[in-house]
A and B are shown apart, each in its own frame.
Chain A
Amino acid sequence: MIEIKDNILTQEISELIGKYGNGREALLPILQQIQAKHGYVSEFAQQEIANALDIHPVEVYGVITFYSFLGNKKKGRHIIRLCRTISCDLAGKDAIIRTLERELGIKFGETTKDEKFSLEFINCMGMCDQGPAMMINEQVFTQLTPHKIVDILKNFR
């Protein structure tokens, strides 16, 4: 089973190389695609990408760990990122933190048991005039209230 999965990943990576080339500058776009599709970049994927770009796997690991949107560990299918910077803070982010934690039964930094949701913080995401703001995956939600959170989560369950 694992072997089949790995073969598919190898295939995916070679397709991405076809699209972005095998220069070093292709690394970030490739990682972003793998991250978007699988939710993380596994050790196997890191090896394969390193081979394809002819760089050391540590280089790949170094890049993944630098960027907060890339990760080497499996997380929830939906990643919720709540802005914690000051304008959203003043607009009431603390009430949103409590609501999210209670609704999902986890704390920030954790993933639900069914691996559906992960809760994280993000720094200012450019929605400061409409705070509190958060992202779920790539989607942006603004002017959050506890009631709004309940409705939004329903659509992702």
Chain B
Amino acid sequence: MPIKNKSVIFDRENLNKENPKEFLYKALKMSPSDLILEVRESGLKGRGGAGFPTGTKWMLASAAVSDKKFVVCNADEGEPGTFKDRVLLDEFSDLVFYGMIMCGYAIRANKGFVYLRGEYRYLLDKLLKYLDKMHEENLLGKNILNSGFDFDIEIRLGSGAYVCGEESALIESLEGHRGESRNRPPFPVNTGYMGHPTVVNNVETFATVPIIISRGAEWFTTVGTLNSKGTKLISVSGDCKEPGVYEVPFGISINDILKLVKAENTKAVQVGGASGHCVPKEQFDRALSFEDLSTGGSIMIFNESRDMLHILKNFMEFFVEESCGQCTPCRIGNIKLLEGVEKVEAGDCALSYIKELIELGKSMQLASKCGLGQSSPNPFISIMTNFENEIFSQR
């Protein structure tokens, strides 16, 4: 299923006119530092959710001193409501792989991994075939396009653990361990796979780089907002007539997204997946951007008929199950929040207790070891706060 609206970047017809292989030629003719500079000047920020500037990440890894470095493409895509990386891997794998090669060239790494979630195993054969073809065409392997640069890509599968999308847990998993997040710092750009400098980027981030190299950083900055350049793929699901993957410019409002996907009677929109925020109707003029509503791409739409407490319970069950259990705020905190939801459901919960749980949620945001526990209270806080009337008047 292709990307649904007219795309600026991920439009196969346009790309074919430009011949994506030329992008790689062009990149490998640049000096590594010029390549990084171009990515920095584009203002590209990570598409996986956290929004760290990609050029800066590459620069840090490039500056790190080591005999070995690695490039990792994060294709774990586990955030509820996100599926745009699946579409990219299926239809634009050339751009994803080219982006990884460019990163390798820029930081002087010779090996890349794609960490593909086990649920996407059915894409594996197609991707492996494509890698073989790239080898045949000298786009991978030794002395790529006679540039003197060697790079290879290996695909590793996940085995069903959401936390492995967190970059340090992902590295643990690649190394053959339980996917338990590490303390940060040190960051992967210094101490990553096997202790070597490693760039971990999202699928969409890698796929965007070749376009920036081809059309120039300046072109890229003409789309988007002050601090969020370019376009973003969003995965839209829930109550609307046309769910799917859309490419939208940063700065688009929730209202405009709802029109695009033909949603009616919308009560709330969950932006950023289970770990994101629930936006009520009154705030639908807010914009998708790193400055306002930041998202890895998940947009879930709820209409007037939906019970917000039911939705919140579903999210909290998700976190209780997916917490790696390493640190107490997350392991115990999520259970407490879920129990609170169940108490409300049973009509057995004092409003003052919910206020206490919101405070607990805020402590979890501060005290948890990794992004999972730091963000899992988000839906609890935003739904309990924005829909307090609905939730308590019914029970």
Contacts and interface: CB of A to CB of B under 8 A. Distances in A.
Interface in A22-73: 23-29, 31-32, 62-63, 66-70
Given A25-B175, A90-B306, A123 B322 contact: yes
A126 B311 CA distance: 18
B219 interface: no
Nearest to A27: B176
A67 B160 contact: yes
Nearest to B175: A25
A67 B179 contact: yes
A52 to B, nearest CB: 13
A7 to B, nearest CB: 26
Most buried by A among B161, B180, B315: B161
B79 A24 contact: no
Q: For chain A, give the interface size range.
A: 35 or more
B159 interface: yes
A90 B122 contact: no
B69 interface: no
Interface string A117-137: 000001111111111000100
Contacts of B302: 90
Interface residues of B, number: 53
Contacts of A28: 156-157, 159, 173, 176
Contacts of B317: 84
A23 B302 CA distance: 48
A126 to B, nearest CB: 4
B80 A123 contact: yes
A50 to B, nearest CB: 12
Interface in B151-208: 156-162, 173-180, 194
B300 interface: yes
A12 interface: no
Contact of A32 (B122, B159, B236, B315): B159
Nearest to B319: A123
B122 A140 contact: yes
A95 B238 CA distance: 17
Contacts of A27: 176
A89 interface: yes
A70 B159 contact: yes
Interface in B299-332: 300, 302, 306, 311, 314-315, 317-318, 321-322, 324
30 contacts: A23-B176, A24-B177, A25-B194, A27-B176, A63-B178, A66-B178, A66-B180, A68-B161, A69-B160, A70-B159, A84-B314, A85-B81, A85-B314, A86-B81, A86-B311, A87-B80, A87-B238, A87-B300, A90-B238, A123-B318, A124-B78, A124-B81, A124-B82, A126-B119, A128-B80, A128-B82, A128-B83, A128-B235, A128-B243, A129-B237
